[in-house]
Amino acid sequence: MPFASRHRSGRGGARGFTYLELIVVIIIISTLFLFAVDRLLRLRVQAEAARLAYTIGGLEVALSMQMAEMAARGEFHRLPRLAGKNPMDWLQQPPENYAGVVDSVEGLTLEPGKWVFDRRRGELVYRVRYAEYFQPEQGLSTNVRLKVLLVFADKNGNGRFERPPDDLYGVRLQNLTPYRWLEEAKNSG
């Protein structure tokens, strides 16, 4: 009986792990752990992308409400005052990761995952938390920059709204740094 000869007598057939079996189990558990950690990181990146999109959507709704309120009061002519303003001011409650207003983001070390309003540029800035999964269309910035801009027919071609001759159509929240989220980290090859 070859099977019986592997067991020591007096143990009732029970035996412990061999070193080889223990190493195999450790390798399997380590591999599963690494896959779980990678999946958790991807879920965190997806959560950041969703939260960013949700916040931008809320800001767009708040801007639409401002426009609707002005139109309802017959004050459409006041729309140019919204350009360059802080859209966080129009929310009932800003998100918890909104750090407030700064004079300028130039030279500022913005904590990842935070929003600030750059007063000098009139831009709302979000610093991406998982920058290795973030790809701007141009440059290397890890900031998303948004600005409330006028929508108008530039009849005189100077790039600025002037009444007359330009026709004003409304305002919009413009993403100044188009981007996309990556499936794999930039440094993963």
Domain boundaries, the chain: 19-188
Could you report the per-residue pLDDT of 20-61, keeping only the tens digit for each? 888 988 899 888 888 877 778 788 999 999 999 999 999 999
- Within 8 A by CB and 6+ apart from 169, the residues are 151, 152, 153
Question: Would you state the pLDDT for residue 188?
Answer: 59
Q: What is the mean pLDDT of the chain?
A: 88
C-alpha triplet 84, 176, 113: angle, nearest 5°: 90
The predicted structure's pLDDT at residue 85: 97
Tokens representing 124?
């709302």
Residue 189 has pLDDT above 60, yes or no: no
pLDDT, tens only, 6-18: 545 445 555 677 8
Q: What are the strands, taking DSSP E only, across 66-107?
A: 98-102
pLDDT number for residue 144: 96
Mean pLDDT, range 89-94, rounded to an integer: 95
Q: What is the mean pLDDT of residues 165-171?
A: 85
pLDDT at site 40: 81
In this prediction, residue 83 carries a pLDDT of 94
How far apart CA 152 and CA 164 sit, in angstroms, is 11
Distance CA 117, CA 123 (A): 6
